[in-house]
Structure 1
């Protein structure tokens, strides 16, 4: 896309009793409207990068498609912000129960007002998890994510999500919306036929119920975060067989669910 991820902005900063004019860097946001089989389906407000991955991941997360093969054609028109999608098939219940939605970049009730209905039909317990990691690997993966988060370092205005194996990053995606960052990861995996049962999600924000559900839909059994989980997220993690690790910082962490997948080096 030609749209920039960040822009310079004049600001007046107050420090130590003085105000001075400086140039700061801020993130941008961009609305993308999904036209699904000739009907307007949803508008996503996102960071202007990896839009096709976002659309694919969003449709899969919402249960509209089951795999990338379900998409017959996807065309993104940057000038109008429209993603034109034609599918070979569509899950019938989505036609009956979805209506046009405007999905903001915030992480509150704007999305939660409808996603539980869909999740009850699309999310299943994560199975066949083929990975365990050490405590030290948890710290190493978090460090790798933070080192790769250039836009966050410049602006402080985006969420970061990475898909990893036990030792390295496979794909890194950022967005102003935490749900968008995860949908981009999901879309990348579907496009590139990436196996997820042996992968880990490392995330910059708190583990909310929505984040946990998306991790389960992606098919990853371990999620690491430098922030806190919510009570509902932990209940869902127990039900969906997901290991959750939070407050991963300063050489300490909390393991909240399925601790058997995290081991102390030399004591697996």
Structure 2
């Protein structure tokens, strides 16, 4: 099975465009970089499964992570072969089960709405992380961003063991970053259980479900979570941390995972 394709040069996933910038009371015509996007189609057993609007980087990880997140595969052992082509904007995946029946083809934008209904599962873990460690990791994540400083317009997520960033992914879609992390971990044999998830974008219920499937008991974002994400995190045992910027953060659920007494 093809495990990986080369990570493209940053300029291959951005485009240089001309704009008129207003600054200090004056207009200046200049060029800037903006994110590029492709419509990437995943084929399973020679049938089109889904088309995803995404950034053309780590497409092999995106493919495996998506299939796992949607329940198409339960492990990498379910995949007989995989071919990923950036030029053709497709992934050709053959399963060990050639009779697997696929649903109707869907097209997903940056929202990443699931083709399949994913049920949440409780995360049982003793993981605890200090607020200072979480804030330090968020700063480190910002330092490791490569595409965002060049073009903006993308999200970044990372998997951490509370001390180090293990896997980092960038994409125009928040959901795509988590699928890329999941896929890279599956292909490289990196456990996602008892890990901390860092996200630059908003935490929605769908994002939380992906983290729960990875069995990540702490999910952190620079932004606020949605109400449904908070309700799900409460039920699933996940510490949901938002507004993690500078030296501040807010814990919305299970504060005991950050050493905060609820008494």
TM-score by length of 1: 0.88
How many Å separate the matches in 2 of 1:31 and 1:211?
21
- 2:85 is the counterpart of 1:77: yes
1:234 is displaced (CA, Å) by: 0.6
Contact 2:42 2:48 in 1 (8 A): yes
Contact 1:131 1:197 in 2 (8 A): no
- 2:109 is the counterpart of 1:104: yes
- 2:168 is the counterpart of 1:172: yes
How many Å separate the matches in 2 of 1:90 and 1:73?
12
**Cα deviations by residue, 1:43-63 (Å, 9 ceiling, x for unpaired):** 111111110100000011111
- 2:71 is the counterpart of 1:63: yes
Contact 1:65 1:91 in 2 (8 A): no
Contact 1:64 1:90 in 2 (8 A): no
TM-score by length of 2: 0.90
Contact 2:81 2:93 in 1 (8 A): yes
**Equivalent position of 2:200 in the other structure:** 204
How many Å separate the matches in 2 of 1:240 and 1:91?
34
More helix by share: 1
Instruction: Name which of 20, 28, 31 aligns with 1:23.
Output: 31
Superposed, 1:5-154 pairs within 5 Å as 5-89=13-97, 95=101, 98-105=103-110, 107=111, 111-112=112-113, 118-120=117-119, 123-127=120-124, 129-154=125-150
Superposed, 1:221-260 pairs within 5 Å as 221-260=217-256
3-state SS in 1 of match to 2:185: helix
How many Å separate the matches in 2 of 1:41 and 1:99?
7
Contact 1:65 1:90 in 2 (8 A): no
**Cα deviations by residue, 1:103-137 (Å, 9 ceiling, x for unpaired):** 112x2xxx44x55x5213xx32123x242111110
**Cα deviations by residue, 1:144-178 (Å, 9 ceiling, x for unpaired):** 10111121122221100001111111111000000
1:90 is displaced (CA, Å) by: 7.7
How many Å separate the matches in 1 of 2:40 and 2:203?
25
How many residue pairs get aligned? The number is: 252
RMSD over aligned Cα atoms: 1.8
How many Å separate the matches in 1 of 2:23 and 2:86?
40
3-state SS in 1 of match to 2:193: coil
Q: 1:56–1:34: structure 2 CA closer, same or farther, 3 Å change rule?
A: same
3-state SS in 2 of match to 1:119: coil
How many Å separate the matches in 1 of 2:240 and 2:98?
32
Moved more, 3-12 or 69-78: 3-12
1:217 is displaced (CA, Å) by: 1.3
Structure 1 unaligned blocks of 5 or more: none
Q: 1:130–1:191: structure 2 CA closer, same or farther, 3 Å change rule?
A: farther
Contact 1:64 1:91 in 2 (8 A): no
How many Å separate the matches in 2 of 1:91 and 1:232?
36
1:82 is displaced (CA, Å) by: 1.6
